Amino acid sequence: MAPLIYPVALLLLFEDWCWDVGGRIAAAIGAWPPLRGFEAWVCRLPPYVALVAFVLPGLLLFPVKILALLAIAHGHAWSGILTLLVAKLGGAAVVARLYVLALPQLLSLAWFARLHAWFMRLKERSLAYLRTSGTWRRARRLAQDVRRRLRRTMRRLRPDPRGSRWWRALRRFVMLWRARRRKSTESERL
C-alpha cells in the first residue's frame, strides 16, 4: 500500500491546486452581477438538484478530455495538452464554485455527508504521509530555493524606480507640495 500513497497524494495535491486556482477564478467571475443571481439560485436548490448541478459540469467535460487524448494520440500533442489543461482548470473552476455554493445542501444528504467525511479523512491522511517523507522535504526545499532564486533574478532585472526620471519628478513634486502646504499653514497662523 505504501508505494501507492505517493501517486495518490501527488494526484490529490494537483487536484487541490486546480480546485484552489479554479475556485479563486470562479469566485472572481461570480462577483459579476449577472452571475450573482445564478449563484443565489444554486444556493436555494434542493439537495438532489444541487447534486446534479455539482456533477453535471464534470460529466459534460469528460468527452472533451477524451477528445483531447485522441488528439494527442493522433499526433496533435500541443493542442491536446492545451485542451486538457483548459478543460481541467475550467472544470475545476466551475465544479469548485458549485461545490462551495451547494455544499450545505449536499451535506444534508446522509450518504453524501458520510462519503465526504471519508474522502476528506483519506485526503488528509495521504497528504500527512506525503509531508512526513524525506522526498517531500527535499522537494519543498528545492521549490523554495527555486522561488528564492527566481525572486532574486526578478529583482535584478527590475529597474530601480528611485533612479528613474519618473521617480525624481515625483519626489520633486512631493517636496514642492509639502513646501507649499507648510507656507499655507504658516500664513494661516499669522
Q: Could you list the pLDDT tens digit for every one of the 190 residues in the chain? A: 456 666 766 677 777 777 777 777 777 777 777 778 888 888 898 999 999 988 888 888 888 889 888 988 988 889 888 988 888 777 877 888 888 888 999 999 999 999 999 988 988 887 788 778 777 787 778 878 888 888 888 777 766 655 667 777 777 888 888 888 777 777 766 6
Q: DSSP secondary structure string, 74-109?
A: TT-HHHHHHHHHHHHHHHHHHHHHHHHHHHHHHHTS
**136 part of a folded domain:** yes
**171 part of a folded domain:** no
Range of the structural domain that residue 114 is part of: 2-158
**26 part of a folded domain:** yes
5 close to 126: Cβ distance less than 8 angstroms: yes
Q: How far apart are CA 10 and CA 175, in angstroms?
A: 55
**164 part of a folded domain:** no
**168 part of a folded domain:** no
CA dihedral 45, 48, 54, 58 (to 10 degrees): -150
**64 part of a folded domain:** yes
User: Whole-model pTM?
Assistant: 0.59
* Number of compact structural domains in the chain: 1
Q: Which amino acid is at 107?
A: L
**172 part of a folded domain:** no
**126 part of a folded domain:** yes
